[in-house]
Structure 1
């Protein structure tokens, strides 16, 4: 009984510490709480193959999983501390001290870290010790019944206090002064961009097929930020330096003064499996990256742009892809409105034809013109390819659910080869002959294209596959490859039961 009581006390002490640190972080208006800082450190230290395996399983639920894992680990260590409290007090103190030290180090490793974050970590450690001292005081065994009642009463009081403080912390966090200021600033922007409907002929409007235009709400999000950076556009700037003829610092207003251009662009995550949904298409509004690089002047020998996010994430992009005339943008708008905060507000990069990990830096604040030989960016350090060109790919969206009726059945999907364009899509059933699908219209070569094929479905179980051919005449490869190191390949296939 004593052992279970001690472990329960440790669990409660850890929970109380988490609640107190989150509430204190919100009260102090910290950009990141200690829990988030630890979570970011875990993400940074996770090997690339493991990170990819996790994304492959949980997809866009990776961030709640990361935070939940940190919380569960703290709770488990709290249980260990509670178990040691009466019998190995020195070890218990040592483990708490170690955890506070590691948490403080995680806080200080972050771009937003500082003394206030360390203080919050120390306060959490004090809460753990205080709760355990209250719950697990040595008591006279002759008064066991009285001691048990006292323990249960104290345990209940601390539990209620933990829930209250935790809830208060969430309320404070939702009313974070900086978050509210940034959201007000975003809402007040009147940008010279428009919300655009899908161009005529781009969307077949087939039931159950994803629309050609991906809404901001439905657009995929894969990044390493557990809490998106909160940047007031009035405080944002982009420093451009390195192998350039002249250094330059741009403000948000500088970009607006240059004028925004709109471009329909599909972007895709390198973690997108064959037939996956980590891809989206919308209209972006921004400033030409090429024009900015032409202005600063690129020196001989430079072949890469190392961009850095406000939260420290880095990305290496081939200069060729930024200067060859494609619609590479510093984007300020997404589907006609200021970028949503999770998608990079106030400014992000959008580069057609490259996977996001080598191009699509969100919350970008620094550009260094350099050479690939002189650096390794975040994901290339973890085993991904250096340049990341998007491959010619297709996806089958319809029929959904693996069931179809006998007779004419619509098979439909999308295909993409950004920067080149799609010239055709073919469909085959049960490894039979390839049949030509009908393509929708597209405004440029940088977007995906919808396709459809009428299949005369017969009763039974069938396998449907698709393949695309790009505008250079290069067909989608049938060779199966994992997303590592530079994107998945293979024909998409679906199994369908017709009856």
Structure 2
């Protein structure tokens, strides 16, 4: 058999294995297919600097990229197995066995993994071997033309079968059914929530500037879940334990019964570069975390809250930030409606003044009151800082960098933030000239971003524009350029424009 045909046979075998694995995962009602489990393991094993570089390049496409990368890797390894099949069959067997073991280990390493996931992984390996056997059967007894025709017919049948099985798996996918059912549950919830009007004067309505309120649809999403956990609020509980005077387990109804507070809070990701858009502002409805921690009682020596997501992700939050009176919430609603599934439904954490990697646990199910010295959370294991306070930042939204604009009166505008401290002022500099004070919008509290604008009389030519913010403590944004690792990017945001 030619090398090209061997490669094609391996690709077909791998594709059929993927389809069979996905179809069986649906029939077995698995929460995650082996493909997703392997993808999550890849994310977990990716070093912090590399993960940050990927997020910086692809942004919200990191999750589809991870799944696609796993599928491509499986197809390439399948091609290798096909080549080896014709002259080193033992190597093909060994390669398939290794892949099955790795997939099974990935399945068992997930919070909800188990024997059924291993069965789907083993089935995929059996399909690879079976397809290779089928494509190579009787080839020694056939003429070249007969062998080619047989190979093409068999390949076509296998390809059609893989498409049918894969499509059926998607149609039958239990996860899809569960998500639809959960969306119906979410839509039927009647929570003591309300939409809150944007405060007067907060949105400066500059043409081209983003809205002061970020819609749920446009709110950034950065997490490690390839597929968001599906947690029914009727089944949700939060266990609180560790260095506490008494352990406590809360249900979803318990939180509702405590009453929801509604607060405007801006949250942002540590991966946000200077001038970036991994930040959003909305009104969150939830239960103050401080009251719950006061109720369980914190023992002396504790300085951290280790929270865990339903999918096993962990986060370490300074207890000081949860007990100093700021609007730290166990949030149930976002912009007047139950949390979207992708943003943590049914319950997530929202803590103003801290980057999300140390505070914003989605799908939260476990709290352990502990000490930073006794654990490392998911991202701190990968090189990020332990505390993660948000840095004072400004961003230029309009004009856009590289824009060509008309000479005359024009608005330079953007947003600035220093959650839990507040913004005292924003300044703008044109062509390294004097800093000029911008006009600020109003804010309901110190936990939101603030819009700003400066009216500039633009003159013909090329111009550079920079901005900087000063917080309510009098601390001005640094001009020192630094990347997002280990605890957030710094530097002045800058753009260039051409005026005609």
TM-score per shorter chain, which class?
A: over 0.9
- Cα drift, residue 168 of structure 1: 2.1
Give the secondary structure class of the aligned counterpart of 1:134. Answer: helix
In the other structure, the counterpart of 1:76 is 76
In the other structure, the counterpart of 1:422 is 423
TM-score between the two structures when normalised by the length of structure 2: 0.98
- Cα drift, residue 221 of structure 1: 0.3
Distance 2:26 2:174 in 1: 9
Deviations 1:261-290 (A, max 9, x none): 100000000000000000000000000000
- RMSD across aligned positions (CA): 1.1
Deviations 1:58-87 (A, max 9, x none): 111110111111011000000000001121
- Cα drift, residue 106 of structure 1: 0.3
In the other structure, the counterpart of 2:432 is 431
Give the secondary structure class of the aligned counterpart of 1:132. Answer: helix
The aligned runs of 1:260-299 (5 Å cut-off) are 260-299=260-299
- Cα drift, residue 140 of structure 1: 3.5
Deviations 1:126-174 (A, max 9, x none): 1111111111224246522111111101111111121222222222238
Distance 2:84 2:93 in 1: 9
Deviations 1:304-334 (A, max 9, x none): 0000001000000000000000000000000
The aligned runs of 1:99-498 (5 Å cut-off) are 99-140=99-140, 143-173=143-173, 176-400=176-400, 402-498=403-499
Distance 2:273 2:495 in 1: 14
Give the secondary structure class of the aligned counterpart of 1:275. Answer: coil
Deviations 1:224-247 (A, max 9, x none): 000100000000000000110000
Distance 2:170 2:456 in 1: 52
- Cα drift, residue 175 of structure 1: 6.4
Deviations 1:378-403 (A, max 9, x none): 00011100000000001000012522
Distance 2:33 2:94 in 1: 23
How many residue pairs align between the two structures? 499
- Cα drift, residue 178 of structure 1: 2.4
Moved over 4 A (4+): none
Give the secondary structure class of the aligned counterpart of 2:23. Answer: helix
1:8 aligns with 2:5: no
Contact 1:410/1:455 (CA < 8 Å) preserved in 2?
Answer: yes
TM-score between the two structures when normalised by the length of structure 1: 0.98
Distance 1:403 1:413 in 2: 18
Contact 1:463/1:496 (CA < 8 Å) preserved in 2?
Answer: yes
- Cα drift, residue 253 of structure 1: 0.4
- The worse-fitting range, judged by mean Cα deviation, of 176-185 and 452-461 is 176-185
Distance 1:472 1:88 in 2: 70
Distance 2:278 2:175 in 1: 31
Give the secondary structure class of the aligned counterpart of 1:190. Answer: coil
Distance 1:256 1:139 in 2: 68
Where structure 1 has 5 or more consecutive residues not aligned to the other structure, the ranges are none
Distance 1:23 1:429 in 2: 60
Distance 2:177 2:247 in 1: 34
Distance 1:175 1:81 in 2: 31
Contact 2:27/2:174 (CA < 8 Å) preserved in 1?
Answer: no
Contact 2:30/2:175 (CA < 8 Å) preserved in 1?
Answer: no
Q: 1:175 to 1:114 in 2, by over 3 A?
A: closer
Distance 2:28 2:142 in 1: 46
In the other structure, the counterpart of 1:58 is 58
Distance 2:264 2:339 in 1: 15
Give the secondary structure class of the aligned counterpart of 2:285. Answer: strand
Q: 1:46 to 1:142 in 2, by over 3 A?
A: closer
Contact 1:6/1:136 (CA < 8 Å) preserved in 2?
Answer: no
Q: 1:414 to 1:174 in 2, by over 3 A?
A: farther
Contact 1:408/1:457 (CA < 8 Å) preserved in 2?
Answer: yes
Contact 1:29/1:177 (CA < 8 Å) preserved in 2?
Answer: no
Q: 1:341 to 1:434 in 2, by over 3 A?
A: same
Distance 1:175 1:330 in 2: 26
